[in-house]
Amino acid sequence: MGATPCYVKTHSRGEYVFDHGWADAFERAGGAYYPKLQVAVPFTPVAGPRLLARPGPLHDAVRGALADALGEITTGNDLSSAHVTFLTEPEWRLLGERGFLQRTDQQFHWENAGYASFEDFLRRLSSRRRKTIRRERKEALAPGIEVRWLTGSDLTEAVWDAFFAFYMETGSRKWGRPYLTRDFFSIVGQKMRDRIVLVMARRAGRWIAGAINFLGDDTIYGRNWGAVEHHPFLHFELCYYQAIDYAIAHKLKWVEAGAQGEHKLARGYLPKTTYSAHFIANPALRRAIAEYLARERAYVRAAGEELAAAAPFRKDLVEQE
């Protein structure tokens, strides 16, 4: 009748809904935050259903039963908490009604308004932003860099070797300890090769940078990127502009460029609210987190309105619509 995917975790890496501060505070007070229960698609900040219920007259009742069971499993197994991340807004509201604490955050998504080409998209932007993006794209490829889209049978072990080197080099500088293994990329390349697009950059006959994307029915999802040579604007080119090019060429509706990043706004990606819900077993920790989340939700809402007002699209076209 229904199911929800749960993981017992002893850390908070790879989740993109950050609760490290909660863990530190609870442990300083003498509590044990780990292990905890996590309901998520691992390593993937992509929204979707988390309380899976068969359609029909019992759909809502089954989702409610799943929600209640998460709390029972948490307390019954001496876990500190249960976290449902990147769920749908209706699920977020349902869990809020059943005592879960509600959290929001922001991502930046690009929407394809039926563009015929990248230049067609640029015509919708302000003159200043058009000039900036054209300059960034030109300078990114100026050192003799060529870009290729690799998918399906293009995803050889040699390509994964190159991409893993990018991932480790950039991940070590940004995160300290990247968590995906070399075997992961071989396995995902075997299982999902037709749902993967690697945007790879080559210079002087060798791969120097790349970004991995996953394909949904109407969306291209940007994930990890890395480089062993660092050139101005190459990150923007591989992660944002090439994804837009691909979406236009393949008539995809959306580009979701991963977690965080207000710099995406200037490149045509608009703010989108994401949702998570949290069951906290300890009453004192729950009260502290609830107070924090009330302030955080207000900030996220205000920031989203401010960012949307600063979108780079031409005001005359927005007013016409």
Q: In which order are the strands placed within the sheet that holds 36-39?
A: 6-9, 36-39, 81-85, 270-280, 101-111, 254-259, 219-227, 206-215, 196-203, 146-150
Please provide the CATH number assigned to the domain covering 2-107+271-309.
3.40.630
**Distance separating the N- and C-terminal Cα atoms of the chain:** 44
Q: What is the mean pLDDT of residues 170-180?
A: 74
Domain with CATH 3.40.630.30 in the chain: 113-252
**Bridge partners, 259 (sequence order):** 107
pLDDT of residue 222: 94
Q: Tens digits of per-residue pLDDT, 224-236?
A: 999 999 999 999 9
Return the residue matching tokens 């890395």: 226
CA distances from 11 to 41, 135, 237, 253 (A): 16, 42, 33, 35
pLDDT of residue 175: 60
pLDDT of residue 260: 74
Q: What is the mean pLDDT of residues 90-102?
A: 97
Which token pair is 151?
């998918």
- Strand, helix or coil at 5? coil
- Strand, helix or coil at 45? coil
Burial class of residue 51 (count of CB atoms within 10 Å of its CB; 0-12, 13-18, 19+): buried
Please check the confidence at residue 174 and state whether its pLDDT lies above 70: no
Cα angle 175, 197, 233 (rounded to 5 degrees) comes to: 55
State the Cα–Cα distance between residues 183 and 177, nearest whole angstrom.
16
pTM of the model as a whole: 0.90
Q: Tens digits of per-residue pLDDT, 187-205?
A: 999 999 999 999 999 999 9
Nearest to residue 278, comparing CAs of 92, 66, 107?
A: 92
pLDDT of residue 317: 62
Please check the confidence at residue 172 and state whether its pLDDT lies above 80: no
Q: Tens digits of per-residue pLDDT, 10-58?
A: 999 889 999 999 999 999 999 999 999 999 998 889 999 999 999 999 9
- Residues in CB range of 177: below 8 A, 6 or more apart: 171
State the Cα–Cα distance between residues 139 and 47, nearest whole angstrom.
34
Nearest to residue 217, comparing CAs of 247, 245, 189, 193?
A: 247
Instruction: Looking at the structure, give the CATH architecture of the domain made up of residues 113-252.
Output: 3-Layer(aba) Sandwich (3.40)
Would you say how long the chain is, in residues?
321
**Bridge partners, 7 (sequence order):** 38
Contact between residue 47 and residue 56 where contact means Cβ atoms under 8 Å apart: no
* Mean pLDDT rounded to a whole number for the chain: 94
pLDDT of residue 259: 74
Q: What is the mean pLDDT of residues 260-289?
A: 94
- Helices then strands, counting H and E runs in the chain, come out as 11, 12
Contact between residue 243 and residue 208 where contact means Cβ atoms under 8 Å apart: no
pLDDT of residue 78: 96
Q: Tens digits of per-residue pLDDT, 46-64?
A: 999 999 999 999 999 999 9
